[in-house]
Amino acid sequence: MTLSAAPTIRSSFYKAYSSFVARSCCSRRALLDVSKRYQSTISELNPPPKPQVLPGQRDSLLVLLRPYFAKKHSLDQREDTFVSITELLNHPEFRHLDMGALQELADRDKKHNFIFQYDVDPGKDHWWVRAKRWNEPHLVPKPITSRHQFPVNVIFTTTLREWNSHISRIGIPKPRDEDIMLECKITGPTLDVQDRTTVYISLDLKKAISSGLKFHARKAVPDASPPSHIYTSGDEYGFIPPEYFAKVEIMEAKQTLLWGNPKPLEAPFALKSGDGFIKEGEKLSYMREVDHTYQNLAGAPVKAQVHGKTMDEARLAVI
C-alpha cells in the first residue's frame, strides 16, 4: 500500500461510518416517534361514559314484560313471554341502556325476576328476556286445606266503585291471567293519605274451603314465615260469590287541616314572553304548562333527560 492511497481509504471509511451513524440515528428517531405516537394515542383515548340505570327502571321493566303488555308497545313478544332485547333497548324508556346495563339492572334485583335466554337461530334476534311469574321454581304453591291455618278471615281490598258496579252482585272476579289475591291482614294507612274510600271484604274461609274452593299460598322453599297473601282461582266460573262474604267494611280517608295555612293553589297559567306568546304578553294557549319530565311505565316521575332519538321522533310526529 502506498502513502497516496491511505487518505483515500481513510476518507471512504469515514464516509461509511458517518452513513451508518446517520442510518442508526434515523431509525432510532423513527422508533421514538412511533413509541410517542402510540403513547399519545393511548393516553388520549377516553372510555365512553357507562350507561346509568335510573331509579324505578326495574319496576318499568317488570310492567313492560307482562303478558300481552309488550305487544301493546309494539314489541316482539313470543308465546312464552320472552321479549327481544334488541327491540327492548330501542324502547324510548330504555334507549340509553346497553346489554351490560340491562344485565346490571337484573343483577340488582333481589328477587331475581328476570330471565335471559340466548337463541342460536341466525334468522332471529339472539338475546331475549322475560319476567318470572308466581309459578316459577323459586316459589312453591302451598295448598291451604284447613281454616285453622289462619287466625282471622282473609281480606280482599277493592274500591267503592267496583263494589257498587259488580262485586256486590256477582262476587269477586278472577283477572284474565292471574289468580285472586287475598290479604291476611289489613295494611295500615300510608303517610301520603289522600281523600279516598276503600272497601275491605272479609271472606269466610272455612265455608269457602268446605264448598270446594281451592286456596294456596306462594312461598319460597327456604322461607318458613307465615304468608302475607293467599290466592285462589275462584269457582268454576272464576268468581268468589257473595255468599262467602263474612263482612264488608268501608274506610273513608279524608285530610283535615288542624293548624297552619292551607297549601296555595297553583296558578293555571302564567304570562311570559317567548315561544307561545304574542307581543302584548297574552298567551296563545291557556293550557297548563307541564314540567319537563315524564313518567315511567310504573307511573313514577322520572327526572332525566329524554333520549335524543326520542325527541327527533316526537318532532317528526308533530310535523
CATH class of 139-253: alpha beta
Tell me what pLDDT residue 242 has: 94
Q: What percent of the chain has pLDDT over 90?
A: 11
Bridge pairing between strands 139-144 and 172-173: unpaired
First-last CA distance in the chain: 97
- Provide the pLDDT for residue 173: 92
pTM score, whole prediction: 0.44
Residue 239: pLDDT band (50, 70, 90) is very high
How confident is the model at residue 34, as a pLDDT? 44
Average pLDDT of the residues of the chain: 73
CA angle 236, 239, 241 (to 5 degrees): 110
| Residue (of 156, 135, 132, 145) closest to 218 by Cα position | 135
Asked if 172 and 213 touch (Cβ cutoff 8 Å), the reply is no
Residue, of 264 and 229, whose pLDDT is higher? 229
Using one digit for the tens of pLDDT, what is the confidence trace for 141-194? Answer: 788 877 666 656 789 999 999 999 999 999 999 987 678 999 887 765 554 556
pLDDT value for 107: 83
**Listed residue (167, 166, 308) closest to 244, CA to CA:** 167
Domain boundaries, the chain: 57-131, 139-253
Residues 191, 260: Cα–Cα separation, whole Å: 19
- Which CATH code, of 3.30.1330.30, 1.20.58.220, 1.10.10.970, 1.20.1050.10, is assigned to 57-131? 1.10.10.970
Q: Give 288's DSSP letter.
A: P
Residue 96 confidence class, pLDDT cut points 50, 70, 90: confident
Query: In this predicted model, what pLDDT tens digit does every residue of 201-226 receive, in sequence order?
Result: 999 888 888 889 999 887 765 556 67
**Mean pLDDT score, 59-65:** 87
